[in-house]
């Protein structure tokens, strides 16, 4: 009998994550360290912008190699992505490969072990996640990941 708490299951039971479809993902840095970007004010356009760190630039280069990327944002300590799966590989495999490539390039893992996923079920859900990604930098001050 283990004395450790049971880890919460993050994936849908019996769901085939290699199935064609759209997925919303959040991948966090280890200990939520703010090492990927900073959110800065752009007074000329009266909005905020994401300014990538050197690590964030590396992360971006590997995000763009993930098959089916529709949209993403690189926040200071996490990344949000919308992925359109069509290649038959599991989503887990694509994200594991992405994290491994970043780790190999910089020489140390910057990632939490797991990631959050959401199966996008319809157009309304897709548009909601798209808006969330667009608006996330402006809401950084109250973001749950900004701890």
Determine the structural domain holding residue 95 and report its residue range.
21-140
* Confidence at residue 121, expressed as pLDDT on a 0 to 100 scale: 92
Quick check: is 96 in a domain? yes
* Confidence at residue 144, expressed as pLDDT on a 0 to 100 scale: 76
Model pLDDT for residues 18-61, shown as the tens digit of each residue? 778 999 999 999 999 999 999 998 777 678 899 999 999 999 99
Quick check: is 77 in a domain? yes
* Confidence at residue 8, expressed as pLDDT on a 0 to 100 scale: 47
Q: How many separate helices (H) and strands (E) can be counted in the chain?
A: 3, 6
**What's the domain count of the chain?**
1
* Confidence at residue 7, expressed as pLDDT on a 0 to 100 scale: 43
- CATH number, domain containing residue 117: 3.30.70.1290
Is pTM beyond 0.75? Reply is: yes
Quick check: is 145 in a domain? no
Q: Which residues contact 79 (CB under 8 A, 6 or more apart)?
A: 25, 26, 27, 36, 59, 63, 72, 73
Quick check: is 14 in a domain? no
Quick check: is 37 in a domain? yes
Please tell me the distance from the alpha carbon of residue 131 to that of residue 73, in angstroms, as a whole number.
11
Quick check: is 2 in a domain? no
Quick check: is 59 in a domain? yes
Q: Check: CB of residue 27 under 8 Å from CB of residue 111.
A: yes
Residues of the chain with pLDDT under 70: 1-17, 45, 147
Quick check: is 117 in a domain? yes
Q: Which residues contact 34 (CB under 8 A, 6 or more apart)?
A: 76, 77
């Amino acid at each position: 009998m283990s004395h450790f708490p049971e880890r919460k299951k993050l994936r849908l039971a019996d769901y085939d994550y290699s199935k064609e479809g759209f997925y919303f993902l959040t991948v966090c840095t280890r200990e939520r360290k703010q090492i990927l970007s900073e959110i800065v004010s752009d007074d000329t356009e009266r909005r905020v912008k994401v300014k990538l760190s050197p690590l964030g630039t590396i992360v971006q280069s590997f995000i763009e190699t993930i098959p089916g990327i529709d949209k993403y944002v690189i926040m200071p300590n996490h990344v949000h992505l919308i992925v359109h799966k069509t290649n038959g590989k599991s989503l887990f495999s694509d994200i594991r490969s992405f994290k491994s490539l970043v780790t190999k390039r910089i020489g140390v893992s910057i990632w939490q072990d797991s990631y959050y996923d959401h199966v996008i079920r319809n157009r309304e859900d897709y548009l909601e996640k798209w808006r969330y990604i667009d608006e996330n930098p402006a809401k950084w001050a109250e973001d749950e990941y900004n701890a």
